[in-house]
Amino acid sequence: MTEKLAGHLLVETLVAQGVTHAFGVPGESYLAVLDGFHVHADRIRFVTCRQEGGAAFMAEAQGKLTGRPGVCFVTRGPGATNASIGVHTAFQDSTPMVLFVGDVASDTRDREAFQEVDFCSFFGPSTKGMAKRVERIDEPRRIPEYVARAFATAMNGRPGPVVLVLPEDMLTQAVDTMALPLPRVEPVETWSDPGSLRALRELLLKSERPFVIAGGGGWTPQAAQALQRFAENWQLPVGNAFRFQDTFD
């Protein structure tokens, strides 16, 4: 065979990114992807859920626990709107997540097709959006590019959710078997330079009522322990930001 379905290529890109589980509610708009999950069942598992909101929360929880994007698949219209609560939670909690939405076919777009929704407008991104980035994949050969960028966007800077829209006719197109996933994306590691740490020390020594507010994404058990040692050594009072009470004992 010299060709494969674009839906199969999409599953292969997830495997290349280290994804072991994807959560979702099956829908007719991404049957080619479900077929890909079946073909690659020995490397990745699709967890069938009863409702898209639960599937999105499962993906969000996995993103919180692993630091890599949790993956959720839903179908168009109500499937996407049901999943939006999990996307909104991922945005507010700075959790890396990628939501894939099966969409109407390209030749019926903007014709009020059954359950058609403008997902770019619905999910953002804007000052009050639900996602860091929303993109539509119209060209099957660019699937590896879009998926790699989605993972990079979800993990870097302030982590958060990314939405990728998948026209159902795009997923059933044939691509060359030589079309391969891009390498695994890793988040950029950041740290404070010595000069900044010295400046922070001077500020703390001069401060009268310093107070630590612990919050934001990217926490690990080791980071939480390091914060606790820092606060104890400097005898600093600590408060937790909303929904980040577990970052400090």
Is the torsion defined by CA of 189, 193, 198, 199 positive or negative? Answer: negative
- Split at pLDDT 50, 70, 90, the class of 133 is very high
Please state whether the peptide bond connecting residue 210 to the residue before it is cis, i.e. omega within 30 degrees of 0.
no
Range 122-139 average pLDDT: 85
For residue 129, pLDDT beyond 80: no
Give me the count of residues in the chain.
249
Tell me the C-alpha distance between 113 and 96, whole Å.
31
Q: State residue 99's pLDDT score.
A: 98
Range 136-145 average pLDDT: 96
Q: State residue 184's pLDDT score.
A: 95
**pLDDT tens per residue across span 11-57:** 999 999 999 999 999 999 999 999 999 999 999 999 999 999 999 99
Range 143-161 average pLDDT: 96
CA distances from 117 to 60, 78, 108, 203 (A): 23, 9, 12, 51
Share above pLDDT 90 across residues of the chain, in percent, rounded to a whole number: 71
Contacts of 144 (CB under 8 A, 6+ apart): 9, 13, 16, 179, 180, 181, 182
Range 206-230 average pLDDT: 90
- Split at pLDDT 50, 70, 90, the class of 243 is confident
Q: State residue 1's pLDDT score.
A: 67
What mean pLDDT value characterizes the chain? 92
For residue 219, pLDDT beyond 90: no
Q: Provide the angle, in degrees to the nearest 10, between the axes of the packed helices 6-16 and 31-39.
A: 50
The answer to whether the CB of 164 falls within 8 A of the CB of 102 is: no
CA-nearest of 232, 229, 238 to 210 is 238
Tell me the C-alpha distance between 88 and 161, whole Å.
8
Tell me the C-alpha distance between 196 and 33, whole Å.
48
Ranges 67-76, 117-126, 144-153, 236-245: which has the least confidence:
117-126
* Phi, psi torsion values for 220, nearest 5 degrees: -125, 165
